[in-house]
Amino acid sequence: MDCKQALLKLYNYLDNELDAIECKEVEEHLKSCKHCFGKAEFERILKKTVQEKCCYEPIPEQLKSSILERIKRIDKCSDSNQDSSEEQNRFFFSAKPELRLDRRCFHFDYHWSFFHFHEDFSRHSRLYDSQI
Amino acid sequence: MPDKVTKKDIEFEREALQYTDAVYRMALRMTKNKADAEDLVQETFFKAYRFWDSFEKGSNCRAWLFKILTNLFITAYHKKSKEKQQFAYDDVDSHYLYNQFENTDYKQQLEDPEQMLFNQLLDDDVKKAIEELPEDFRMVVVLSFVEGFSYQEIADIVGIQLGTVKSRLHRGRKLLQKGLWQYAVKRGIVKEKT
Ligand SMILES: [Zn+2]
């Protein structure tokens, strides 16, 4: 395998998308070619860096509990879990724009009051749920 | 109203709700703001719960949730975004960042790129560089780089051909490298050649 072939397969190699034989071929080349090895290391660290710098962003507790709460509420409101897809769409798409607008304004006006606006949103969705 | 916890609730909490962080992270990168990301996450889990019966137990729940999220994003958010998918990416080489270093006065930084470059970039620089990618590329880049899905899993999640995954990832990677170089310049880690 020459440099050109090795570099062509480099990203697939780093993404674990090569089979065992191809993997070995690339590795053999990287062992014997300092230049390609440097490139491979650079790309490997780059990939690792992107992953590490983006991975720690936990979901806000408030949002997590509101998901739980909403799921529980839905179950109790409907007699069956097999809701029609029509009802599904009504919830997702017809109710949303209005809510979204509300939230957006709120968010804009009161940047500091994140939790407050969240409560406001839950209140709205509760209202909506009871209408279903 | 008395609280009754069903078998479905327990199952859903155990299988699906362990991935809230990952789903939230993806939603943030795609919508680029907290308010929309929160909506998208809520909708994703809400839909997942309703369609829990159609989830094949024992299969990859994380991939299934990402598929729902991606679908919702494409149908509900994509339309309102005015983002142009046209993008000049053809002038970007493969290994863009590496070549930039090699062709400038910063060759010595290649000796230890982790210390000399990557550790000096802020988390926000990397997140912004990702968010500046066109939507289609951003989606596959996040699924691959951040979430570590395989090309085949990404094809299933986004609903595109394997070849399309590869080409989007290839272009996305180039653009991401170009973006990161610009943040390195902005941070004063390197100076743009004049
Ligand atoms: Zn070589």
> Does position B172 have pLDDT exceeding 60, yes or no?
yes
Domain check: are B51 and B132 in the same one? no
Domain check: are B121 and B174 in the same one? yes
Under 8 Å between Cβ of B132 and B176: no
User: CA–CA separation, B133 vs A5, rounded Å?
Assistant: 28
Quick check: A41 and B113 CB within 8 A?
yes
Determine, yes or no, domain membership for B192.
Answer: no
Q: Is the dihedral of CA B70, A75, B59, A13 positive or negative?
A: positive
Q: Of B28, B51, B80, which residue constitutes the final position of a domain? A: B80
- B100 CA to centre of ligand 1 in angstroms: 18
Q: Which amino acid is at A105?
A: C
Question: What pLDDT does B83 receive?
Answer: 53
Domain check: are B125 and B44 in the same one? no
Determine, yes or no, domain membership for B15.
Answer: yes
Domain check: are B52 and B95 in the same one? no
Domain of residue A12 covers: 3-55
| B50-71 exposure pattern, b = at least 16 Cβ within 10 A, e = fewer | bbbeebeeeeebbbbbbbbbbe
User: Using 50, 70 and 90 to split pLDDT, how confident is the model at B129?
Assistant: very high
Determine, yes or no, domain membership for A73.
Answer: no
Determine, yes or no, domain membership for B55.
Answer: yes
Question: How many angstroms away from the CA of B82 is the closest CA of chain A?
Answer: 17
Query: Which token pair is B110?
Result: 């290649």
Determine, yes or no, domain membership for A65.
Answer: no
> Does position A3 have pLDDT exceeding 90, yes or no?
yes
- Reported pTM: 0.78
State the complex-level ipTM.
0.85
Contacts of B72 in chain A (CB under 8 A): 92
Domain check: are A126 and A93 in the same one? yes
Domain of residue B126 covers: 89-186
- A29 CA to centre of ligand 1 in angstroms: 6
- What CATH number corresponds to the domain at position B22? 1.10.1740.10
User: Using 50, 70 and 90 to split pLDDT, how confident is the model at B43?
Assistant: very high
Contacts 24+ apart (CB under 8 A), B79-84: B81/B135, B83/B134, B83/B135, B84/B134
Total domains in chain A come to 2
Quick check: B25 and A57 CB within 8 A?
yes
Domain check: are A51 and A85 in the same one? no
CB-neighbour burial class of residue A99 (10 A; exposed 0-12, middle 13-18, buried 19+): middle
Q: Which pLDDT tens digit goes with each residue over A53-104?
A: 998 899 999 999 999 888 888 765 554 444 444 344 333 333 333 333 333 3
Domain check: are B67 and B110 in the same one? no
Domain check: are B159 and B97 in the same one? yes
Total domains in chain B come to 2
CA nearest to B15, candidates B62, B79, B84, B74? B62
Domain check: are B22 and B51 in the same one? yes
Question: What pLDDT does A93 receive?
Answer: 35
Query: Which token pair is B109?
Result: 């930084």
User: Using 50, 70 and 90 to split pLDDT, how confident is the model at B193?
Assistant: low
